[in-house]
Each structure stands twice: as C-alpha cells, then as structure tokens.
Amino acid sequence: MWIGTTQGVYRFNGSKIKKYALPAPLRQGTHYIRRIQGDDQNRTWVFTTKGVSYHEKGQDSLRTLLYRRRGVKASTLLADGDEVIIPTTDTLLTYSKDLSLTKTLPLKSSGTYIFELLRYDTRHYLALTSRWELKIIDKYTGELSSAPFLQTTNIYYLYRDSEESYWISYYGKGVKRYDQTGRLLAEYHTGNSALSNDIVLDIEEWDKSIWLATDGGGVNVIYPETGEVEVLSTQTNRDFPANSVACLLRSDNHMWIGMVREGVLGVEKGFITTYTTSVPNQPSGLSEKCPLHLWEDTDGTIWIGTDGGGINRFDPDTEQFTHYPRTFGEKIVSICPLTESTLLVSSFSKGLYLFDKKTGDYRRFVFPDRSIEEKLVGSGSPINLRVNSKKEIELYGSSVYRYLPSEHRMESIFVNLKPLNTSWVYIGDHRSNPLFHDRSKVFRYNMSTKQFEMVFYEKDNQIMAADLDSSGILWIAGPNGVSRIHPDNGQKEDIKLPDGNDVITSLIADRDEVIWMGSLGVVYAYDSKKNHFIIYSEMDGVLPNDFLSKPILETADGNIYMGGSEGLLRINKPLRPSTGLQLAAPVLQEVFLDGAAVAVAPSLELRVPHHFSSLDIHVQLKGADVFRKRIFRFRIKGLNDEYIETAQPFLSLHTLSPGDYRITTQCTQNDGSWSEESVLLDFEVMPPWWKQIWFIALCIGAGILLLVTLIHTHNRRMKHKLQEEERKIYKEKVRALININHELRTPLTLIYSPLKQLLNSRRIPREQQIKVQSAFKQARQMKNIIDMILNMRKMEVEENILRMSSTALNDWIRAILDDFREEFSMREITLGFEPDENIEEMYFDRNQCEIIINNLLTNAYKFSEEHSTVTVSTHLEEEGKYIRIAVKDEGAGLREEEIGHLFTRFYQGQHNIQGSGIGLSYAKQLVEMHGGSIGAKNNEEKGACFFFTLPYRRETTHIKSVPQAYLNTVAPPEDNSPVKVYNKSDNQEKFHSILIVEDDRDLCNYLICHLQSVFKEVYEAHDGMEALPIIASRTPQLVLSDVRMPRMNGFELCRYIKQKPELNYIPVILLTSCVDDAGMEEAFKLGAEAYVTKPFDMDLLLIQIQNILKNQKIVKKHYAAIDMPEEGQELTPADEHLIIQLNRIINENIGNGELDVNFMARQMGMSRASLYNKTKRVLKTGINEYITKCRLEHACQLLKTTRLSISDVAERCGFRHPRNFSTLFKNTFGESPSQYRRKD
C-alpha cells in the first residue's frame, strides 16, 4: 500500500512502513502529493505539483519521468494494456511498457490541463480539465468537444463504475449518475437523500455500492439498486475517528479510507463487534469497560454485571446500553432471577442485593440467617449464583448454600469432596447432573446419590476456563493450552492451536459444537466436527482484550458474548459468512541483494554472485488483509527440505554454497491452515570463476586432449604389434586350413572314386542306387569345397594363370544347365535360359567360369521355392564391350543390409540354410581375374538376381593374377517344400509315427529311408512352419528336427510344441551341425529330449529314438495301471495322453470326495461334455463309472496290504458313507469287503 502525505510518500509492505524521498527536482518547496496510481506493469506512479515520478520493482527509489529532458507535469494517467497515456498541458504522451515514448498527441486547444482521463469509447477519451469542465478527446486527432452530460462545469471528480455509468461530483452540490449517452440516471444531494455532505472529494465502487468521500460528512455509501444511502461518521459509528475524508481505495476485501488528519482507516464487512466503555448514561457503550457476568432475560435482553460500573442492560436489536446510576461503583460478579421483575445480584465483598428491572431500584438482600451472611461476605470470596432445576438458588462462595425463595430459608449443602476451592463456577448439566469447576478440579453433583463426584483432576494443573458442548464433551483451558475430556471415562485429548499459542483464558461451546476461545486480542473458532480452526483478530472486529472465563453467554438466537478487561465481544452468528474464507496467496514483492533492490525476471529467476553478503526476499499477500497477523513459512529447496517459520513477510539469507535453489512459501489462512505452497523465487548462486563451467570445461578439454594424445600414441604402437601378431596367426591359420584340406583329399578320394565307379557300373540294385547316388552327390560337393579353398590359397601364394580358349558362350551355358536340370526337377523348379543370339565365340577360362556359374546356380537352387522358376540369361552391354550373365530366382530375396556383404569370405546371412560362405567369395575372385565384375540385387516382384560380367574378348590373351589376400562377401534366401507321408507296413511291431523336419532334402530322404523300418508312418516337412499343421492334424509320436531351417528353426518349433498343453508330451530330438554348449543348453531348456550333432551314426540315432519311446511307454504303463482299453483297440498318441492324464488325476485325488465329472473337467481344462465324449469313445464307459471302478480297485489294494478298518478304507477311497461303499463293493465283486479281506 502506497500512501501520499504532506510529509512525502510512504509504503507499507505488510510488515513495516518505509518512506520514499521524492526525486530532488520534485521536492523543492512542497511535498504535496496529488495522486498515487498503478499501471498494468506493476509500476507505482506518484503525481506531485512539481512533476511525475515512478517506482519499479527492483528499484529502491523513485525516478523522475522526463520529456524532452524536463520533468513531466501531470495529475493522472490512463493504463491501456501495454501502454500508459499521461496527459500533460495540451499534449497526450503515450509510453510503451518499457517506458519508451511511442507517441505524442497535441490537443487542439491551448492551455488544456487534465485532472482525470477515462476511456469513453473506442475512439474517444473523457477528460476532466483544470477548468472543472468535462471534454471529449479524439484519441487520433486531438480534437476536443463538449461531453454529452447535462451539466459539464463546476465538476470536482469523475468516476466510471462497472455498469459503464459515470458518477460526477459537482463541488458543493452532491453527485449525479449518467449513462454513456449522457442521460441522467440519478442525483444525490443533502436535499433529496440521506447524503450527509454535498462536497464529494473521491468516489469508489465496492460490491455493487458507490462510496463517497466527503469533506466533513464522513463516508457516504450509495446503493444504486434501491437508492438508499448509508453514512459512516462519528455520529453513526463509534469506531469512525473523524468526518473529514480525503480519498478512498478499494483493495480485495477492504475499503481503505484516507482521512485528512487521522491517517488511514480500513473497512471490512464483519459479524464481530466489540463494545467498550462510553460516557455514563450514553447508550453507545458500557458504563465500565470490563463485564464480570452475563445473564439473558426471557425477552432476549442481556443483563451485564460490570467491574465498578454496576448493572447494564443491553438491547441486541438496537445495540443500545442502559446504565443504572444507583449501581455505579458496584462490582457485580453474578446475576440470577429472583422474580419476574427482580434480580438477585452478587456484589464483590458487599454481599447480595435485589435489583428492580423496571425502576432500577437497588437494595440489600436480607439473609434469613445473619450468621450465614457474615460467613459468606466476611470471607472475601466472590459469591456465584445459580438457579437449579427446582427453581432454588444455589450460592457458591467460601461455603455452599441453597436458598429456597418460597420459604425464605437457607440450607447448607454438604460437600463430601475435600478439599475444594471457593467460588465454584457452574459449567452445565451432563445427564441431568450439574458440573462445576474450581481452580484445579472438575466435579459433578450426582442427583441420585446426593454426592459430589470427581470428574477431572491433574496435580499442578490450573483450570482457567471450562464449558460443556452439546455432545457432552468437556472443554478445559489451562496454562498449557486447551483439552477436551469425556466426562464418563476421563479420557483427555489435547488440542493444538494453529499459531502455536497455548494461552486461552475464556471459552464457550455453541449449539453447533463450535468452540469459541478467547486469548489476548484473538478469538479462535474451532469446529470440533471438522477439526478446523478459524482465527479472528482486530481486522475482524476483535479489539485487544484480555478475555475472562465467567462473562460468557450463548443467547437464544445463537449469538455469542464474551467479556474481557477491555470490553464486551458480540459474535453475531447469523451474519457469519457461510461461504469459504478469502484465501491469502503470498507472492514475490521485491528482492534486495546486499541491501540494494534488484530486478527479478517475470519467470522469477535470479543469478546471485558467490560473494554476496545478504539476500532479502520480501513477499506480499494477494487477496487478503495485509494487516492481519500471519505466520509465514519458507523452504529452500536445494539446501534442505526444512521449513523456516517467521512472523515477518520476508526471508533473509546470508551465505549459500554455489548451486541452484528454489524458495517456496506459505502463509497461515484465517482458519490457521497453511496456504498452497507456491514458488517464490528460483535463483542460482554462481560459483567463483575457477569453479565455473567454462573454466572446468577448459581444464577437462586440455586433460582430454592430453589423454587422447597418449592413448593414440599407445594405440598406434599396440596396433602395430597386433598387426604383426595377426599376420603370424593368419599364416598359421591358413597353413592349418590347407593342411586339413590336404588331409581330407585322400579319404575323400577313397570315398568319391568308389562311389562314382559303383554308379557307373550299374550293377547295384535299384533300391540301393538312390542311396549311393545321394552319397556321391554329397561327396562331390565336399570335393568342390575343398578344391575352392585350395585354389584360393594358391591364388594368395603364387601366380594363377587363366587358360583362355575360344568358346561359344550360349552353347557352353546350355551344357552346364543340362547337368542341373534333373536336380532342379526333383523340387519341381523350372530351369530356363534366355540367350542373346548376338553373342558369338569369345575367349575365357572355361573351367574357372564353370565354377562361377555352378556356384550361382547352387545358390539359386538353395533359396528357390518349389514350383518356381530359375532363369539364366546372357546379353551384350556397354556397346558390346562386355557380356552379362545373370541368374534370376523367385526365392525370398535379399535383405538390404546384406547385399554389401554377399561376396565377403565366410559371410552367411540371417537365414537357416546351411552353407560354407565360400562359393560367392571365390566366384568374385575368378570374375575379377577375368577383368569383370559381379553383383546382386532384388527383383522387382520376387526373388533375387545374381549377375557377373566378362570382357567380350574375340582374341586370345594372357592373364595371370598377382598373389594377394582376397577379402570379399556372401548372401541368403529361403526354401519351402510340401509334406510327404511315407507308409511302410510289415508284420513286425513298430512305433506309431514320426515327423522328420529337415530342409536338406537328401538328408531328409536318407532319414525317411532308415526310419520306415521302425515307424508305421513317417511324415516329412522342410521347415518349422510346414511342420505345424502336420503336428496339429497327425499328432506324431516323435518329432525329429534340424535346428537351422528357414522361416521357423528347430528351437522355435521345439518351444511351440512344449508350450502347447495338448502337444507337450510329444518327444523332440534336435539335429545340428553346430557343436557348441550354448546351443545344447538352449535345446534342453526348451524341453528337447535329445540334441544330436552332425555327422551322426544312424544306428546310434535309432537306439536313442527307441529308448525315448520305450521310456515313454513305461511311464504310460505306470499311470495306466488301473485300467487300459482292450487289446487290439487302436489308440492315437492323443488318446494315450488322455488316459495317462486321466489316471494321474484320479490317483492323486482318489481320497477326495469331490472327485467327479465337474472336478475332472476343471482339472483337465475342458468342458464336461467334451470330457464325457472322449472318455466314452476311448474307455467305452462313462467318467463317473470309471472313477468308481478306480476307487474300488484301490480299495482292494488297501484291503490286501493294510489293516485299516472298513470305514477308514472307504474314506481313503473317497466314499463318504461306509454303508454305500460296502453295498457297491459287494455288487461289484460278489462279496463284502470283510469277506474279501478274510479270503485273501
């Protein structure tokens, strides 16, 4: 809050007032402040008679606004979004949000000085000039015209309300209200309304009412909807200090009133009133400020006993007090009714008196027994009075008596509790038993036993106040705070006040179970149902007051009265706001670094040097009363998570280590709760230069550079050593490889040559010829691989000379293709040839080029699908300089990332087709020796195309290769083949069926040939995907699968079988050419029964297969011991699996009485109908009959082998009733269980 006075400019930030000196040019001769205004950029503008100054956040002083190097003289401004319009003499100055002058508008009228400037419409301003006239200003041309109002002269003030109405103050003639068009809506002056003064100096709007500051008439409040006028002045409100008001300011929930001499007054709508003392016999206040006792009459009148002011009468409707002079000087400590017109009152140290409510007559009460009066009055203890349920009056002083008005008799009340203090205070009735307290104890009088009983007592504890709520809970205030106690069991619960206060001197519980607690200048309202506090202070009408415990009262209309040393507090509950409390939100106000204000970015971020000595962060409250006492809580994230609590709205920091910090803040609300935690400021304490990132980065960079240099030097040396070692190792590897190949040539020759001779002799039977032909083919392939390796080695160590000869290329290729046609036709692959007839005879090495074409055709054969086409083509290119030979298939095609590696030695793509990885690499070497090139690409539709080019040489030439290390590349595709089933029946006993999954057809045929003698049915598939439908439809007894296959390999197939409940009983044997522990481990983890490496001995494989199936048969016999289908009945493996699973479940649950069809269906994971149909088909009986049969056979075993009683045997076999068991046993076996046991 900024305040302008004749002494200068002051600012209140919620905790202290600071004076701001005007800039030197503005404070010469006078400090008169015309106006203080704010704009949309949170600047504060101060207008003086000497010029204009402003204050910005981050500044600690006022700055002068200059125009053409001279101070600007003005009386007001108009904030228009990001712009500020300041009217000076004959000119409107427009400033941007950064206070740069953006526009000047000369007014087309000389000597025009503007006091007020408002928006009128989109093109015009409404101005009040120094001639007290209203003018319309064109914001584009500067032309002035008369305003459309009836009277536009003698105007002192101009205001526009939220309804777009204009309120105009005419000096000495009240105010008028106009609409936008100039139509008069209303007129208020002392002659036609309750307006108290016609001189209106300022106008403000608050909550649909118009507030007028008058010169001598206080503040007048106009309610435009009704036309009523309310006056706030010394005559109408005891709290109003004076009647001369200078200005008004509305802020959140308050109206601030600037008095001419009495400072600033804050007005807030409230429901709490404090009544203090007044001049004797004046109805505005008490005759003495401290009430001692309160009593409500039947008509709602409040009778008040004061400390030295006698008796007062208070009318709640008119808020008027009546004093009774005859009682002046009396300290009235207690009041109770005696008759309808008479009160019995207790005067401290004087005794009892009678008071006439109508006449005010005050006379001494005559005790029936003079000795009782002397005893009570002479003790010096106050006498408290209470009317009990029998209309008797009880007196609690140094002794306790009961007065019977009808008999005018006193009787002593026996007190069985010792010791009790004097002057008991009545708390209330708990279950018809009255409760009292003295200075240390709470006790009750038991109406049934006529005895006093202790309710609560704590040694060394003092009771300052107590009350009973409507639920029967006792509330006690002591030196250490407030507690609630259950009178039935004495259980105590301490209540912690929200602001940490523990001194409560008065409390009263209302009918809504809200506990009102009085402390020094503060009242707490505690909602015991919601466990919720609200704090009321001076801004709510609670004046500084030391509340007393006895003068408390809840009236019939629900109002609460609490007396204290400084007056009587009234809480008008019907006026208490039912809506939520106004929430206070602390926000950043300003920041001081080393005592100087600093500007903070809108993002609330700040950088602080490491050597700072102090950082002060001030907050202000939005939407709340700044004068209310609050507790603020700050947390410094980045330092710790602890809260710093303070009663001051600022945080001071002195030393922090470099780093990022975030300050969050909260403040207490009116109910004592904490506001939402909000971010106040993010700031970074900068490290010293030697710890900053740039310096650290420089050091790290230098260190890295040095380290890289050292590593590079070391790596270069190590690389040189490794290269030398690699050369040595490479030579040794090559020598070993060549030696191995040489060693293989001799045994291979002894295999290859006899096989060739056998085939050529044609003396072997037709049945054996297929096997020999397959073996010869594989031996020839091994011979070709060994020849390639040796030739590559030869090319690396010595010259290789091409033997060029003239050959008709197309005819030569046809001859090669004819050798492959039979092999291709076995897989129903069409082998086509598309020659370029323009190609004539040319020179090339026929042997070497045959190797190239053979490798490409072999590759196409591997990756082609059945019923597809492989096409070989030739044509001339590059104007007849080269011929191009291409082999195109319709296989799976090439992966883009593999094309670059196809011709690299030993490279194999990501597929499951076996190969050495040498053929394409060797072909590349031979092509390049001819001076050509080789490559591969994907076809547009399907498959891949491998091609190579040769120079179209028409003349012979001599070519030899230079020895070098050849490093080239290799590629993949896929293969599919249909399923074939081989049946061979003979008379010897065989296993049921086997599925062979092998992509190598020769090996597959070999396995089929040998396994037909062991299995009745042999199924064939060439990859895992092809095997799945066969497994599902045929359910083979065993699966024999290769590991490396296209589409789905052996591991994936095994996983699929073992994860399917209906298939996981099928044994799986995996064949592999990879001899490694990891593959074997994975196979057995997946559940494979065997893992056989190639090459394998067929006899040993047969033995393994027979052992696996025989062991499976043994397990079946174990679980099928109870019953199996008849001999000769053909069972599929699925049927056998069903019987085994069925018998296993029955054996494991034979003693379970719940074992029935439903139980079996749940255990086997199938429907009841499906289970019944399957068992009926396989076992030729129903499931229940089968279970009963199994139970009876188990009973036979128990009767033979144990000495269990018949009932125990029946129970262990799942029969619930022994009698039924005996009957069923006899019907089945023809004798009772006892006879069966004796016979055995």
Most confident of 571-585, 690-704, 781-795: 690-704
> Given this model, what pLDDT does residue 913 score?
56
Farthest-apart Cα atoms in the chain, separation: 163
Are the C-beta atoms of 1087 and 1058 separated by less than 8 Å? yes
Matching residue, tokens 């030695």: 905
> Given this model, what pLDDT does residue 1 score?
84
> Given this model, what pLDDT does residue 1230 score?
83
Residue 972 has pLDDT above 50, yes or no: no
> Given this model, what pLDDT does residue 1116 score?
61
The H-or-E segment that residue 64 falls in is strand 63-64
Its sign, for the CA torsion 289, 294, 297, 303, is negative
pLDDT tens digits, residue range 1026-1065? 999 998 888 898 999 998 888 889 999 999 998 887 788 8
From CA 491, how far away is CA 466, in angstroms rounded?
16
Q: What is the mean pLDDT of residues 440-454?
A: 93
What is the pLDDT confidence band of residue 792, given thresholds at 50, 70 and 90? low
From CA 155, how far away is CA 169, in angstroms rounded?
6
> Given this model, what pLDDT does residue 290 score?
96
Among candidate residues 939, 1027, 940, the one with its CA nearest the CA of residue 979: 1027
Order the strands of the 492-495 sheet from edge to edge. 465-468, 474-478, 481-485, 492-495
Residue 1050: phi and psi, rounded to 5, are -65, -40
> Given this model, what pLDDT does residue 900 score?
66
Residue 1122 has pLDDT above 60, yes or no: no
> Given this model, what pLDDT does residue 454 score?
92
- How much of the chain exceeds pLDDT 70, in percent? 89
> Given this model, what pLDDT does residue 425 score?
95
Are the C-beta atoms of 150 and 143 separated by less than 8 Å? no
- As a whole number of Å, the end-to-end CA separation of the chain is 113
3-state secondary structure of 960: strand
Residue 234 has pLDDT above 80, yes or no: yes
From CA 501, how far away is CA 1207, in angstroms rounded?
80
Q: What is the mean pLDDT of residues 996-1025?
A: 88
> Given this model, what pLDDT does residue 623 score?
67
> Given this model, what pLDDT does residue 324 score?
97
From CA 869, how far away is CA 1039, in angstroms rounded?
32
Matching residue, tokens 């392939």: 781
* Residues listed for the chain: 1240
Most confident of 154-168, 619-633, 842-856: 154-168
Among candidate residues 352, 270, 283, 288, the one with its CA nearest the CA of residue 322: 283
| Cβ-based neighbour number of residue 736 at 10 Å | 10
Residue 836 has pLDDT above 50, yes or no: yes
DSSP state of 903: B
Q: Break the chain down into helix, strand, coil percent, rounded to 5.
A: 25, 35, 40
> Given this model, what pLDDT does residue 797 score?
54
pLDDT tens digits, residue range 242-289? 999 999 998 877 889 999 988 898 887 778 989 999 888 888 899 999
Most confident of 282-296, 669-683, 690-704: 282-296
> Given this model, what pLDDT does residue 447 score?
92
Residue 985: phi and psi, rounded to 5, are -115, 135
Cis previous bond, 419, omega within 30: yes
Residue 686 has pLDDT above 70, yes or no: yes
pLDDT tens digits, residue range 117-127? 999 999 999 99
Q: What is the DSSP string of 638-679?
A: TT-S-EEEESSSEEEE----SEEEEEEEEEB-TTSPBPPPEE
> Given this model, what pLDDT does residue 297 score?
96
Q: Which residues of 357-378 are buried (b: 16+ CB within 10 A; e: fewer)?
A: beebebeebebeeeebbeebbe
Q: Which residue has the higher pLDDT, 578 or 199?
A: 199
Q: Which amino acid is at 84?
A: V
Q: Which amino acid is at 782?
A: M
What is the pLDDT confidence band of residue 1114, given thresholds at 50, 70 and 90? confident
What is the pLDDT confidence band of residue 193, given thresholds at 50, 70 and 90? very high
> Given this model, what pLDDT does residue 976 score?
39
Are the C-beta atoms of 585 and 678 separated by less than 8 Å? yes
> Given this model, what pLDDT does residue 798 score?
55
Domains present along the chain, CATH in parentheses: 289-413 (2.130.10.10), 424-577 (2.130.10.10), 608-686 (2.60.40.10), 801-951 (3.30.565.10), 991-1116 (3.40.50.2300)
> Given this model, what pLDDT does residue 96 score?
92
DSSP state of 331: B
| Cβ-based neighbour number of residue 385 at 10 Å | 24
3-state secondary structure of 371: helix
Among candidate residues 64, 42, 46, 62, the one with its CA nearest the CA of residue 4: 46
Residue 970 has pLDDT above 50, yes or no: no
| Cβ-based neighbour number of residue 1061 at 10 Å | 10
Are the C-beta atoms of 361 and 343 separated by less than 8 Å? no
Give the least confident one: 75-79, 774-778, 976-980: 976-980
Among candidate residues 254, 263, 239, the one with its CA nearest the CA of residue 626: 254
Q: What is the mean pLDDT of residues 784-802?
A: 66
> Given this model, what pLDDT does residue 1121 score?
45
pLDDT tens digits, residue range 499-518? 778 899 999 999 989 999 99
Q: What is the mean pLDDT of residues 778-803?
A: 69
Among candidate residues 842, 851, 850, the one with its CA nearest the CA of residue 813: 850
From its phi and psi, is residue 747 left (phi > 0), alpha (psi between -120 and 50) or beta? alpha
From CA 464, how far away is CA 871, in angstroms rounded?
112
Residue 296 has pLDDT above 90, yes or no: yes
From CA 733, how far away is CA 727, in angstroms rounded?
10
> Given this model, what pLDDT does residue 969 score?
34
> Given this model, what pLDDT does residue 1128 score?
45
Cis previous bond, 978, omega within 30: no
Give the least confident one: 161-165, 249-253, 357-361, 470-474: 249-253
Q: Which residues of 842-866 are buried (b: 16+ CB within 10 A; e: fewer)?
A: bbbbbebbbbbbbbbbbbbbbbbbe
> Given this model, what pLDDT does residue 218 score?
94
> Given this model, what pLDDT does residue 914 score?
52
Q: Label the pairing between strands 659-667 and 632-637.
A: antiparallel
What is the pLDDT confidence band of residue 986, given thresholds at 50, 70 and 90? very low
Residue 543 has pLDDT above 70, yes or no: yes
What is the pLDDT confidence band of residue 915, given thresholds at 50, 70 and 90? low
> Given this model, what pLDDT does residue 202 score?
95
What is the pLDDT confidence band of residue 1068, given thresholds at 50, 70 and 90? very high
pLDDT tens digits, residue range 453-488? 999 988 888 999 999 999 999 999 998 899 999 888
> Given this model, what pLDDT does residue 989 score?
60
- Give Cα separations from 1126 to 56, 237, 1142, 1180 (angstroms): 106, 115, 17, 10
The chain-wide mean pLDDT, for the chain, equals: 85
pLDDT tens digits, residue range 699-744? 999 999 999 999 999 999 998 888 888 777 767 766 666 667 666 7
Q: How many CA atoms lie within 13 A of 1155 on its CB side?
A: 27
3-state secondary structure of 698: helix
> Given this model, what pLDDT does residue 441 score?
92
